[in-house]
Amino acid sequence: MAGELDSSPHGEKARLKLDDWAKVAASFALSLYGIGLVAVNGYLFGRGVSDFALVRARFIYAGALICALAAIAYALPEMAMKNTRELIAERKAKGTFRGWRRLSSLMSWWYGFWFPVLLFFGILASHYGSFEDGALTLPVLLGVAILLTITSYLVVWTFIYIIGSIIGSMRTRDASPAFVGLSVFIILLLGVGYIPLFMNTIYSRVPEQFGGGRPRTVRLLLTNEAKNQIEDLYPGVRGEVSSPCVEMLYEGTDFYLVDLGDRTTIQLQRDLVLGVVITDTESPCEHE
């Protein structure tokens, strides 16, 4: 009869498969949210603030950015290595694996390794003209890109190996609580080391629209209350209703984190700001 639910085994199987996919999608989104929440707040802790809002799409974007770039840094060398192994096996079987062909096989792995290096380098150098630290030369950025690629590869490889070991142990019912606890501890330890490296190098160079936290050059339209508070907190700074050119480091749910220059940052509540004027993002922020 039309309108009745399909109670056949095929219909039940289809509904179960749909439910499974929904659970996987929800778990994936929750994982990205958790990674982004921890990563962004780790980045903010270094600036003396935090943002633990329960519903923020920005955390999902940040988690996706971290996972996507780490996955690329792992997948491309791994795919190149797999193709190299298959090529070696094929040429060994034909007896033609020697001389320059051996060199070409090894070079294919390097192609897979250098592509994520160039990707990281491109992101690091994309905002190169705005860097105030003269130590951040292009060779230094290339070294950081290589370090990020190697670290990302090792972190993802270790994560896959540990998760695979846990799943395999559970299937054979050999998983002990000590083994699972040690594995989780190692994963957390890797995250504690990798996430700060990523956030302090890549995150601050990627635009907010793509999950990053690149500062924006803005002028703030302040309330009179904000003007008076700034003059009280910073006697040497004359408060104005329209702020000078500043860098917006972070926009929280109820506050703005602003760089005033000379390594001075200020946290302004949103109700103290009437509006934000976005200026030329290609030019460095000039503090007046």
Could you read off the pLDDT of 162-188 as tens digits, one per residue? 777 777 766 666 656 666 677 777 777
Question: What three-state secondary structure class fits 148?
Answer: helix
Residue 129 pLDDT greater than 60, yes or no: no
Q: Tell whether 248 and 191 lie within a shared domain.
A: no
* Residues 6 or more apart in contact with residue 162 via CB below 8 angstroms: 183, 186, 187
pLDDT for the residue numbered 286: 46
Q: Is residue 288 part of a domain?
A: no
The verdict on residue 136 lying in a domain is yes
Same domain as 243, residue 134: no
Both 95 and 238 in a single domain? no
pLDDT digits (tens, 9 = 90+) for 7-23: 555 555 555 577 777 77
Rounded mean pLDDT, 120-140 = 68
Identify whether 245 is part of a domain: yes
Both 41 and 128 in one domain: the answer is yes
103 and 19 share one domain:
yes
The answer to whether residue 152 scores a pLDDT higher than 50 is yes
CA distances from 5 to 9, 11, 14 (A): 12, 8, 12
Higher pLDDT, 90 or 203: 203
Domain count, the chain: 2
Tally Cβ neighbours within 10 Å of residue 244: 15
Last residue of one domain, picked from the residues 152, 180, 209: 209
Say whether both 115 and 82 belong to one domain.
Answer: yes
Please identify, among 209, 230, 252, the residue that sits at the C-terminal boundary of a domain: 209
User: Residue for token digits 């290096």?
Assistant: 117
Torsional sign, CA 83, 87, 88, 93: positive
Statement to judge: residues 84 and 188 lie in one domain: yes
Q: Which of 14-23, 134-143, 183-192, 217-226 shows the lowest mean pLDDT across its residues?
A: 14-23
219 and 110 in a single domain? The answer is: no
| Confidence tier at 284 by pLDDT (50, 70, 90) | very low
pLDDT tier at 258 (50, 70, 90 boundaries)?
confident
Residues spanned by the domain of 256? 215-278
Q: Which of 61, 251, 214 is nearest to 128 (CA)?
A: 214
pLDDT of 2 = 47
Question: Is there a domain that residue 16 lies in?
Answer: yes
Q: Are 192 and 229 part of one and the same domain?
A: no
More reliable by pLDDT, 280 or 178: 178
pLDDT score for 57: 87
Query: For the whole model, what pTM was predicted?
Result: 0.73
In a domain, 3, yes or no: no
Q: How confident is the model at residue 1 (pLDDT cuts 50, 70, 90)?
A: very low
**19 assigned to some structural domain:** yes
H/E segment holding residue 208: none
The pLDDT tens digits of the residues spanning 97-115 come to 555 555 555 566 667 788 8
Pair 236, 201 in one domain: no
The pLDDT value given to residue 72: 92
88 or 51: which carries more pLDDT confidence?
A: 51
Same domain, 191 and 222: no
What are the structure tokens assigned to 165, written together? 């070991």
Question: Is 5 within a domain?
Answer: no
Q: Are residues 185 and 229 in the same domain?
A: no
- How high does pLDDT run on average in the chain? 75
- HEC string of 4-44 equals CCCCCHHHHHHHHHHHHHHHHHHHHHHHHHHHHHHHHHHHH
- At which of 209, 231, 263 does a domain end? 209
pLDDT over 60 at 214, yes or no: yes
Confidence of residue 134 (pLDDT cuts 50, 70, 90): very low
Residue 17 in any domain: the answer is yes
